[in-house]
Amino acid sequence: MEYRQLADELLGLRAEQFKSGLWRQAAKLARGELLALYYLQSCGGAYPGQLSDELSVSTARIAAMLRDMEEKGWIERRDDASDNRHTLVTLTGAGLQEISRRRDQTVEALSGVLRALGPEDASELIRLLKRMNEICNDRK
């Protein structure tokens, strides 16, 4: 089997996916403000430095992102009660609603694609993507 040729084909398929509005919508959940909202939802709050590390984004980009999200009413920043030198970032009710709304929209759209694949192909696709993630995470 020619793995380089398959890898090249995989890259082409991924590029083709991102021409689709659905995949662009899904990708937004995995980057930028929406990823930050998703991360804050999963951990309950974080320091800006943690967000920078977890999202692999510069501290300058995180500062700008937090400012924008605060203006939108999605997050609040407050002094950490245990150490006033640190600022804790948490989601507001509006932030929780925004990430929930966006996630629900994306899940609904993707479920239609998986339904069109049928139960066997949809399950196999998810199994293979999980396996790829395991392999990629082992290579870090």
For 54-68, what is each residue's pLDDT tens digit? 888 899 999 999 999
* Across 5-14, 54-63, 125-134, least confident range: 5-14
Q: Could you tell me the domains of the chain? A: 21-138 (1.10.10.10)
What is residue 91's predicted lDDT score, i.e. its pLDDT?
Answer: 96
pLDDT in the model for residue 109: 85
Residue 84: pLDDT above 80?
no
Is 124's pLDDT higher than 90? Answer: yes
What letter represents residue 109's amino acid?
Answer: A
- The residue ranking higher by pLDDT, 107 or 27, is 107
pLDDT of 29: 59
| pLDDT tens per residue across span 14-70 | 777 777 777 777 666 567 888 899 899 999 899 999 999 988 889 999 999 999 999
Decide if pLDDT at 77 tops 80: yes
Q: Give the CA radius of gyration of the chain.
A: 18
Give ∠ CA 34-59-75 in degrees, rounded to 5: 40
Count Cα neighbours of 126 within 13 Å in the Cβ-side half-sphere. Answer: 11
| Reported pTM | 0.71
> Which pLDDT score, from 0 to 100, does residue 50 have?
92
In this prediction, residues 73-99 reach a mean pLDDT of 90
Please report the pLDDT score of residue 76 as a whole number: 96
Give me 48's structure tokens.
Answer: 């800006």
Q: Please, where are the H alpha helices in 2-92?
A: 3-17, 21-28, 32-43, 48-55, 59-71
